[in-house]
């Protein structure tokens, strides 16, 4: 699949690529990853000034009304540099949930602040027992006067450390695996009863396990209708998966370029290893996997904007399965072709391998989405 970008889309692509080139050389990224935040607030401010944080939001709230295609273009370029700023966590997930499920008052209070770079969000959906099922929610929200009391344990909340507000999925009714009965709540990160265990993930980003112990929130913290949040969660998760697929495509393409260049320079038996036919075949396989993933990523972005939810969900799972499989193959082959030095922190290819490995697992691994696609197609 191939399609032409509009002039505006080409400008967006060029601006993100220029940002990555100027700010995300291997050493510069390593220094950022080693900071306490794990990213740069100056970079975040620059993203706000360039209008990127408002890309997917409606013009009525200060956004640019971009589609999933524009998000794909941006994430693909970010994937080339392994960008660390919490665009996915804050804009796609957090902002997406507010825009999808929030009231007019909540949208007006949060989205403009987010677009200006003044507010960061995170989505706490995963739990220790939930695996990849978004409906496996044991965290509870009990009515208390005019508000609610939240109790539970949320795991691997990406950028939960730096978010100003955490969007928490909690069960207000129903059994543990029911899709009905799940609600969303806006919780201040420093609210009484909230405790965190912050850590660095394998791909150099930041995450947190968040404990909620008798956390009191008002009725205005409820995002959308009580017990009816699952469709919004599923829709926003689909858009996040599409964004991850695009990011993976950018990372895979760059991993291939790095590996191809290394094979031209690394000599064995007096000749570059790129001269060996069996390794040339390996590089062709890696190139084809990246190209197939690119086609799937492009396809799912367009499907998301067409409005057919079932078709979009099938496309999302198909793309995630293909991209996950390709990410694993390209990442592992890149490391093997580099040898032991590929896993050193000083060399860039290991960081691409780690990010691709993480993306393969986020929101469901390859096997999970193969099964999901089969179920949706039956």
**351 found inside a domain:** yes
Same-domain status, 68 and 179: no
90: tokens are 């804050």
**1 found inside a domain:** no
Task: Give the model confidence (pLDDT) of 57-114 as tens digits.
Answer: 999 999 999 999 999 999 999 999 999 999 999 999 999 999 999 999 999 999 999 9
Same-domain status, 144 and 220: yes
Give the chain's domain count: 3
**130 found inside a domain:** yes
- Please classify residue 137 by burial: count the beta carbons closer than 10 Å to its beta carbon, then call 0-12 exposed, 13-18 middle and 19+ buried: buried
Last residue of a domain, one of 85, 118, 151: 118
Radius of gyration of the chain (CA): 21
Query: Residue 109's pLDDT is what?
Result: 96
- Please classify residue 294 by burial: count the beta carbons closer than 10 Å to its beta carbon, then call 0-12 exposed, 13-18 middle and 19+ buried: buried
242: tokens are 């599409």
Query: CA 363, CA 237: separation in Å to the nearest integer?
Result: 8
Task: Give the model confidence (pLDDT) of 178-219 as tens digits.
Answer: 999 999 999 999 999 999 999 999 999 999 999 999 999 999
253: tokens are 């393409």
pLDDT > 60? residue 5: yes
Residues 6+ positions from 200 with CB-CB distance below 8 Å: 33, 38, 206, 207
Query: Residue 249's pLDDT is what?
Result: 98
Same-domain status, 51 and 63: yes
Same-domain status, 346 and 248: yes
The CATH number covering residue 112 comes to 1.10.540.10
Count of CB atoms within 10 A of residue 269's CB? 7
pLDDT band at residue 365, thresholds of 50, 70 and 90? very high
Indicate if the alpha-carbon torsion angle 231, 234, 236, 239 is positive or negative. Answer: negative
Give the relative orientation of helices 230-265 and 309-338 as an angle to the nearest 10 degrees. Answer: 30
Task: Give the model confidence (pLDDT) of 32-65 as tens digits.
Answer: 999 999 999 999 999 999 999 999 999 999 999 9
Count of CB atoms within 10 A of residue 188's CB? 14
Indicate if the alpha-carbon torsion angle 352, 242, 118, 219 is positive or negative. Answer: negative
Domain coverage including residue 97: 7-118
Q: Phi/psi of residue 99, each to 5°? A: -65, -35
pTM: 0.95
Query: CA 200, CA 208: separation in Å to the nearest integer?
Result: 8
Last residue of a domain, one of 171, 203, 226: 226
Last residue of a domain, one of 169, 195, 226: 226
Picking from 147, 135, 146, 205, the residue whose alpha carbon sits closest to that of residue 174 is: 135
Query: CA 269, CA 304: separation in Å to the nearest integer?
Result: 51
pLDDT > 90? residue 153: yes
- Average pLDDT of the chain? 94
Task: Give the model confidence (pLDDT) of 226-264 as tens digits.
Answer: 999 999 999 999 999 999 999 999 999 999 999 999 888
**104 found inside a domain:** yes
Query: Residue 285's pLDDT is what?
Result: 94
């Amino acid at each position: 699949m191939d399609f032409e970008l509009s002039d505006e889309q080409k400008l967006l692509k060029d601006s993100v690529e220029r940002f990555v080139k100027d700010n995300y050389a291997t050493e510069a990224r390593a220094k950022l990853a080693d900071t306490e935040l794990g990213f740069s607030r100056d970079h975040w401010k620059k993203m706000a000034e360039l209008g990127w944080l408002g890309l997917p939001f409606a013009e009525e709230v200060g956004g640019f009304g971009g589609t999933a295609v524009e998000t794909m273009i941006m994430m693909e370029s970010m994937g080339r540099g392994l960008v660390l700023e919490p665009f996915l966590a804050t804009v796609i997930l957090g902002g997406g949930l507010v825009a999808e499920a929030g009231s007019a008052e909540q949208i007006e209070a949060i989205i403009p602040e987010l677009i200006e770079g003044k507010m960061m969000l995170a989505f706490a959906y995963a739990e220790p027992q939930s695996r990849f099922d978004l409906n496996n929610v044991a965290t509870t929200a009990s009515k208390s006067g005019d508000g609610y009391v939240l109790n539970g344990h949320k795991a691997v909340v990406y950028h939960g450390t730096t978010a100003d507000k955490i969007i928490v999925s909690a069960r207000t009714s129903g059994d543990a695996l029911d899709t009905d009965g799940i609600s969303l709540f806006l919780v201040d990160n420093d609210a009484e009863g909230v405790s965190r265990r912050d850590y660095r993930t394998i791909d150099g980003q930041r995450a947190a396990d968040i404990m909620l112990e008798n956390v009191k929130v008002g009725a205005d913290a409820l995002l959308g209708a009580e017990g009816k949040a699952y469709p919004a969660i599923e829709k926003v998760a689909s858009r996040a998966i599409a964004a991850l697929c695009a990011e993976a495509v950018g990372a895979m393409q760059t991993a291939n370029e790095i590996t191809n260049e290394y094979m031209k320079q690394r000599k064995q038996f007096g000749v570059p290893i790129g001269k060996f036919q069996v390794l040339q075949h390996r590089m062709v396989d890696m190139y084809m996997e990246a190209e197939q993933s690119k086609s799937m990523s492009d396809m799912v972005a367009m499907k998301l904007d067409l409005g057919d939810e079932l078709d979009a969900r099938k496309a999302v799972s198909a793309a995630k399965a293909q991209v996950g499989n390709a990410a694993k193959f390209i990442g592992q082959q890149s490391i093997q072709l580099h040898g032991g030095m590929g896993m050193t922190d000083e060399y860039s290819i290991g960081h691409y391998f780690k990010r691709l490995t993480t993306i393969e697992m986020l929101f469901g691994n390859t096997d999970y989405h193969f099964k999901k696609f089969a179920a949706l197609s039956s």
